[in-house]
Amino acid sequence: MQRRWQLASSLAVSAALLPGGAAHAQLGASAPGDSRGDGLVTVSLLCGSNPIGPGQTFHLGVRFDIMPKWHMYWKNPGAGALPPRIVVTAPAGYTVGDVLWPRPVAITTPLGPEYGYYDAVVLFVPITAPATLTDGTVSLHAFIQWTVCREVCRMGSARREVVTATSSRAGATAPTVGPGGPLAALWKRLPAALSGLTAAGSSFDGTTLSLTGPAGGMTSAAFFPVDAPGITYGTADITIRQSRFRVTVPVELKPANAAGEPMALAGLVTLGEKPDDPCYDFMIPLAVEPPDPTRKADAPRD
C-alpha cells in the first residue's frame, strides 16, 4: 500500500549570500508544527571545536535522535522520500560547506528501495573561519528540515543555535570531533575516499561502473548510488572473493536529461553490517557534454 504523507505545508529553503558575506536561509512558508514530525525527532546542534582559531575549518554536528522504528533519509533517499535539509547562518567572513553524510542502511518499502537512518544520526557541516579573529564568541544558527517515516511520513523542522569561543591565536583550538570528543563515535561513520584506499579503484567503460578494493575481512558489501539528472543506475552485482570486493553496476546515460549540469558517477560502497564498519565514496567525472539548448540545429543540406 502506498505510503500516506501527513504534511500540512512544505518549506521552500534556499541559501543566499547577504551583503557582507553572511549565509542566510530564505523561507518560503511557515515551519511545520508539533502535530507532525517534530515530536518524532529530537534535534541538537554541536560545534566540533572550542575555541575556533583563525582560518580553521571546523564542523557543526546536527544530531537527530529518531523515535524507535521510525527512520530518516540519506542524501539519495530512494523511492518516494525526501532527505533532510540544513541551512546554516554564519557571520560575515565564515564559509559554510556542503553537508557530510554518514553511511546509510537500505530500507525496503512497498514503493521500492530507500536509503536512510534509524535511531540516531549526525550530519556534519564544515565551516571555515575568517583568517583574522578576535578573542570572544561566535553564534552559529541552523534551520533544519526533515522527513521521518514509518507507515506514514511526517515532516518536521527546527531552529538551533550554538555559541562557541573564538581565539585570535592560531593553534589554540580544542577539537571535539576526534577521538574522545562527543562527536567522535558518529564522525567515524563518514565515508573515506575510495581513491585513497590501497589497491582500490573505480572505472567506467561507458555502460558499466566497476569498483574494487580490499574487503578488510568483511564478508558483505552494499552499493548506494547518488542520483543525478541524466544518470540511471541498474542493479549492482557485488562479490567478495579472496578478501577483495568487486561491485559492477550497469549505467544508462542520457545527457539530454542532465539539466545542463556536468555529469559524474558518484556513490558509496559499505562493508559489513555495523554502522562503524568501513565505507568508501567515489566520484567519476564524465566527459559527456550535455546538449546546448541555445544551439540551433544545422540547416538541412541540399
Look at residue 174 in the predicted model and tell me its pLDDT: 57
Q: Give Cα separations from 60 to 22, 160, 201, 263 (angstroms).
A: 16, 11, 31, 29
Say which CATH number the domain at 246 has.
2.60.40
Look at residue 27 in the predicted model and tell me its pLDDT: 25
Looking at the DSSP assignment, which residues form a beta bridge with residue 159?
A: 143
CA gap 79, 28 in Å, rounded:
25
Q: Take residue 17 and report the three cell numbers written for it.
A: 549570500
Of 144, 171, 187, at which residue does a domain stop? 187
Can you tell me the mean pLDDT for 275-280?
94
For the chain, count helices (H), then strands (E): 1, 22
Residue spans of beta strands (DSSP E) within 29-70: 41-47, 57-66
Q: Take residue 216 and report the three cell numbers written for it.
A: 578488510
Let me know if residue 14 belongs to a domain: yes
108-117, 187-196, 246-255, 260-269: the lowest-pLDDT one:
108-117
The answer to whether residues 183 and 48 touch, using CB atoms and an 8 Å cutoff, is yes
Let me know if residue 301 belongs to a domain: no
Q: Is the peptide bond before 51 cis (omega within 30 degrees of 0)?
A: yes
Of 138, 155, 187, at which residue does a domain stop? 187
Can you tell me the mean pLDDT for 203-222?
97
pTM exceeding 0.75: yes
Let me know if residue 251 belongs to a domain: yes
CA gap 250, 206 in Å, rounded:
9
More confident residue, 35 or 76: 76
The CA radius of gyration of the chain, in Å to the nearest whole number, is 21
Say which CATH number the domain at 43 has.
2.60.40.1250
Which tens digit of pLDDT belongs to each residue from 72-117?
999 999 987 899 999 999 999 999 999 999 999 999 888 888 999 9
| Band (159; pLDDT cuts 50, 70, 90) | very high
Let me know if residue 295 belongs to a domain: no
As for how many domains the chain has, the answer is 2
Of 164, 187, 210, at which residue does a domain stop? 187
The domain containing residue 269 runs over which residues?
192-285
Let me know if residue 297 belongs to a domain: no
